Amino acid sequence: MTNTVADILIEVLPYIKKFSTKIVVIKYGGHAMVDEGLKQAFADDITLLKYIGVNPVVVHGGGPQINVVLDAMGIGSTFIRGMRYTDDATMDVVEMVLGGKVNKDIVARINREDGKAVGLTGKDGGLITAEKLKIYHQSDKNKPPEIIDPGMVGNVTQVNPAILHTLIDQGFIPVIAPVGIGKNGETYNINADVVASKIASALDAERLILVTDVDGVLDDNQKLISSITDGQIAEQIADGRIKGGMIPKVECALEALRNGVKKSHIINGKTPHAVLLELFTNSGIGTQVFVD
């Protein structure tokens, strides 16, 4: 037993050295945000990262929690090409749930472990500037593309990381809800993967970790691909092996890499302590994405 523990510590040591003082941006989403045990494990992971010298920055989602409140208020949910249609009433709920209930629950859990977390939305300190997302869909190549209106769904135009650097320098852990502000003060609902990618790029992060509900990128036999390059991703999207919800995740991972992030990871948050296992073990548990 003693040797096993010692072996684990020896395996971890090089990674602690490697990531000490570095920024790691973690997009927190999926089942790990719903299951009580996994929520606590995530808070433990983030706190441990801070205590060993890593600087974690958390960007979270909250779709299931938003659905619960919308249903309770009698506001229906409509999705357009995988995105929640966000009218004014829905936007009010989104901002309330993401910036309030969900964000503060994550902050409280980390702080109970003495992690010194601070909750933000993209509206705080001018962190995230956004514009209305425009969706073009062309079902008939002989006709002009259809313009789809998703409501108050935003696209990030700029990240001002000054407030994050201030918090990190003072020993705090930023926890960010993916809500941005437009040039006229309007509020936008933004995809959390996109926000995490943009923030990781703006912070020149060492790593971007996307926590989801699947193991990572899978091969034809539904086995995990532990490492994949940008060229391989392009091939697999083109031939349909990477499809559906995995496409925007790998695209966010690649965008971060092309803007200075050293490596991106896609991992399954259903595994307890998934973040630690991915960062601090030789084999990891998910898919590492890198530019060849």
Tens digit of each residue's pLDDT (9 = 90 or more) over 148-170: 778 899 999 999 999 999 999 99
Torsion of CA 44, 254, 133, 149, to 10 degrees: -100
Look at residues 106, 99, 96, 91 and name the one whose alpha carbon lies nearest to residue 34: 106
Lowest mean pLDDT among 1-10, 43-52, 269-278: 1-10
Of the pLDDT bands very low, low, confident and very high (cuts 50, 70, 90), residue 84 is confident
Percent of the chain past pLDDT 70, that is, above it, reads 95
Measure Cα distances from 227 to 194, 213, 232, 286 in Å: 21, 18, 10, 8
Looking at the domain assignment, is residue 3 inside a domain? no
Tell me if 50 is assigned to some domain: yes
Residue 228 lies in a domain: yes
In the prediction, which pLDDT does 24 show?
Answer: 98
Residue 2 has pLDDT above 60, yes or no: no
CATH code: domain of residue 194? 3.40.1160.10
Q: What is the pLDDT of residue 83?
A: 74
Residue 145's domain spans which residues?
13-290
Residue 161 located in a structural domain: yes
Per-residue pLDDT, 177: 98
35-to-61, 140, 179, 192, 267 alpha-carbon distances in Å: 14, 43, 24, 19, 16
* 6 within domain boundaries: no
pLDDT digit string (tens) for 90-145?
999 999 999 999 999 999 999 999 999 999 999 999 999 999 998 766 566 666 66
Q: What is the mean pLDDT of the chain?
A: 92
Mean local confidence (pLDDT), 64-68: 91
Percent of the chain with pLDDT over 90: 76
Residue 287 has pLDDT above 60, yes or no: yes
Report yes or no on 80 lying in a domain: yes
Residues 118 and 108: beta-carbon distance below 8 Å: no
Cβ neighbours for 220, distance < 8 A, ≥ 6 positions apart: 241
pTM of structure:
0.93
Instruction: Judge whether residue 1 has pLDDT over 50.
Output: no
Distances in Å between the Cα of 211 and the Cα atoms of 44, 109, 271, 285 are 15, 18, 10, 11
> Is 4 domain-assigned?
no
How does DSSP assign 115-161, residue by residue? Answer: --EEEEETTGGG-EEEEE--EEE-S-TTSPPEEE--BSBEEEEEE-T
Number of structural domains (the chain) is: 1
Q: What is residue 231's predicted lDDT score, i.e. its pLDDT?
A: 92
pLDDT for 211-237, tens place per residue? Answer: 999 999 998 888 999 999 999 999 999
Residue 117 covered by a domain = yes
Question: Mean pLDDT, to the nearest integer, of 246-273?
Answer: 95
Can you give the three-state secondary structure of 31-100, one letter per residue? HHHCCHHHHHHHHHHHHHHHHCCCEEEEEECCHHHHHHHHHHCCCCCCEECCEECECHHHHHHHHHHHHH
